[in-house]
């Protein structure tokens, strides 16, 4: 397995894996994936040859991204590395791929001296992601409720 930066050519594969992770990953179109990659300054994929096994897309603060969760962090933190989404293909889950991706995100946050921020669905519930973020030393710093959704907001500080 090789971890490398995502490219816009990966958008269809990213979208397919994102769809497998619904509702936890949040529904987006292929065009929205392309836009997220344009906003991103740090996005990685785990590959086996040409096959994308999983990905993480991170955003810096103050892009034009319209997410309410992202806006919550922008209002409270001057600088951060925001994990907009992380997902692993169903057939590749429980092999440590998500953890390897997060190790790289945490390493990057330490290099640039900023916290990592993320959110996890409380409703609809996403207990697997809650356990995952707890294992990776994320601390819950808030709850945001909107529409028919509620999320726990997390920060990892080195």
Q: Which residue has the higher pLDDT, 82 or 21?
A: 82
Confirm if 151 and 69 have CB atoms less than 8 A apart: yes
Kindly report the CATH number assigned to the domain that includes residue 42: 3.40.630.30
pLDDT at 113 over 90: yes
- Per-residue pLDDT tens over the stretch 25-36: 788 999 999 999
| Kind of pairing between the strands at 116-123 and 51-59 | unpaired
CA 48 to chain CA centroid, Å, is: 20
pTM for the whole thing? 0.94
The count of C-alpha atoms lying within 13 angstroms of the C-alpha of 118, restricted to the half-sphere facing its C-beta, is 28
- Domain residues for 142? 2-156
- Per-residue pLDDT tens over the stretch 37-85: 999 999 999 999 999 999 999 999 999 999 999 999 999 999 999 999 9
What are the angstrom distances between the C-alpha of 33 and each of 8, 82, 112? 9, 15, 25
- The two most distant CA atoms of the chain are separated, in Å, by 41
Domains of the chain: total:
1
């Amino acid at each position: 397995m090789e971890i490398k930066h995502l490219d816009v050519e990966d958008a269809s594969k990213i979208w397919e894996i994102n769809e497998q992770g619904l509702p936890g990953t949040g529904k987006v179109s292929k065009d929205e994936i392309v836009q997220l990659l344009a906003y991103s300054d740090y996005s990685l994929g785990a590959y086996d040859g040409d096959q994308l096994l999983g990905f993480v897309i991170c955003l810096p603060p103050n892009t034009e991204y319209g997410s309410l969760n992202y806006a919550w962090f922008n209002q409270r933190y001057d600088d951060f590395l925001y994990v907009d989404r992380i997902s692993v293909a169903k057939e590749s889950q429980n092999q440590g791929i998500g953890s390897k991706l997060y190790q790289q995100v945490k390493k990057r946050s330490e290099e640039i001296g900023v916290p990592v921020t993320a959110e996890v669905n409380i409703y609809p519930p996403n207990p697997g992601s809650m356990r995952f973020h707890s294992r990776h030393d994320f601390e819950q710093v808030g709850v945001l409720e909107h529409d028919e959704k509620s999320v726990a907001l997390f920060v990892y500080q080195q």
